[in-house]
């Protein structure tokens, strides 16, 4: 019966004109109570499909609907008058009786033959018995003992939480902004999903005035390296890594002398070659001097930036090499030691790369 009462309300709000004022009387108290709980609660109640349609019509037509409850059959059952509201009038009782008669008439017109309804009723009855049996079996079972590992399920740590812990132990005054790790001192940043984030946060933070890096292709050299243009390639005078067309080891943090880290065997070979003015490993055709005017202009600008670096950041090996250059014959000097080579796509040629 609650669905039939609700269907009557749905028919009313469907056929009235927009902006209408509707007073709906029903002898089903559940319909009245569910209506005044609001559309959110009604969408979770029984017959939610019809409640959604009712409130959709009310909102679309901007209706003002009032639902009233009254007891049924008060004319034949005087005891119900004690629960009747004060506004109840005789015509309310007459209208309710007329609605009940029309409902009975409609029900008789749509009766299902018994031979068709009997199989369905038997299935529903069997379903009810099975459900009751299952409930009885479950209630007689002993309480299930939960395993300790099932009771204490460790929570999965998010990637942002892991990065926040690394930041708290890092020398970088960094934070996470728009899915990027940003250092507020050295101004470097990278995506939080980049695999280099732990290595970056483990390095020592260098202020902008102490940094110097070169763009080669789509990558930059790490600012911890001490770069020196050397015959068309870049070499780090600390770890011995070199680059010409592609950045490999120069894109990673340099070795930490404070932790007594040493260059790789290939890096040591490159440093000895650099001190002796010989080509680094794998650099066939060194020095590289086939440059057009635009490339030479760019190299001169980068060389000027190297010359302007503070003296304390120029390694001792460079100073020794400069003294040897003054004593060496100019004919033996490479033709392009002065102009460096910035973002021309230099490649690591060291065996350490």
pLDDT in tens, 35-48: 999 989 998 988 89
- Enclosing H/E stretch for 65: strand 64-69
Assess whether pLDDT exceeds 70 at residue 17: yes
- Say whether 175 sits in a helix, a strand or coil: strand
* Helix, strand, or coil (residue 57): helix
* Closest C-alpha among 278, 285, 224, 282 to residue 249: 224
Residue with tokens 């015509």: 91
Q: What is the dihedral of CA 36, 37, 40, 46, to 10 degrees?
A: -100
Can you give the pLDDT at residue 318? 44
Q: What is the pLDDT of residues 195-227, one digit of tens each?
A: 878 887 887 776 654 556 666 666 778 878 888
| Percentage of the residues of the chain whose pLDDT score is greater than 90 | 21
Count Cα neighbours of 61 within 13 Å in the Cβ-side half-sphere.
20
Domains belonging to the chain, first-starting first, are 2-109 (3.30.420), 165-209 (no CATH), 212-332 (no CATH)
DSSP letter for 257, please.
Answer: G
Rounded Cα–Cα distance for residues 230 and 299 (Å): 11
Under DSSP, the state recorded for 310 is -
């Amino acid at each position: 019966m609650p669905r039939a009462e609700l269907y009557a309300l749905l028919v009313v709000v469907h056929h009235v004109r927009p902006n209408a004022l509707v007073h709906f009387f029903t002898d089903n108290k559940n319909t009245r109570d569910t209506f005044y709980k609001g559309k959110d609660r009604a969408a979770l109640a029984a017959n939610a499909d019809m409640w959604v349609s009712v409130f959709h019509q009310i909102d679309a037509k901007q209706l003002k609907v009032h639902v009233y409850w009254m007891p049924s059959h008060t004319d034949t059952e005087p005891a119900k008058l004690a629960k009747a509201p004060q506004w109840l009038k005789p015509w309310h009782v007459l209208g309710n009786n007329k609605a009940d008669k029309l409902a009975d008439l409609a029900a008789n017109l749509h009766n299902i033959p018994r031979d068709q309804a009997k199989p369905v009723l038997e299935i529903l009855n069997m379903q009810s018995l099975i459900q009751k049996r299952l409930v009885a079996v479950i209630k007689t079972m002993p309480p299930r003992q939960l395993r300790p590992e099932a009771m204490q399920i460790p929570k999965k740590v998010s990637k942002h939480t892991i990065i926040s812990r690394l930041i708290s132990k890092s020398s970088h005054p960094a934070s996470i902004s728009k899915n990027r790790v940003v250092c507020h001192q050295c101004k470097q940043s990278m995506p939080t999903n980049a695999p280099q984030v732990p290595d970056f946060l483990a390095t020592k933070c260098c202020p902008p005035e102490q940094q110097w890096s070169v763009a080669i292709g789509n990558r930059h050299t790490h600012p911890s390296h001490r770069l020196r243009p050397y015959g068309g390639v870049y070499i780090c005078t600390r770890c011995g890594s070199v680059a010409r067309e592609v950045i490999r080891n120069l894109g990673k943090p340099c070795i930490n002398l404070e932790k007594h880290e040493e260059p790789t065997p290939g890096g040591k070979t490159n440093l000895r070659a650099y001190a002796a003015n010989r080509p680094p490993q794998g650099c066939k055709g060194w020095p590289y001097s086939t440059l057009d005017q635009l490339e030479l202009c760019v190299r001169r600008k980068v060389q000027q930036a190297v010359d302007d670096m503070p003296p304390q950041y120029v390694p001792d090996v460079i100073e020794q090499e400069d003294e040897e250059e003054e004593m060496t014959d100019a004919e033996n000097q490479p033709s392009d030691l002065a102009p460096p080579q910035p973002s021309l796509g230099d490649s690591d040629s060291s065996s350490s790369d």
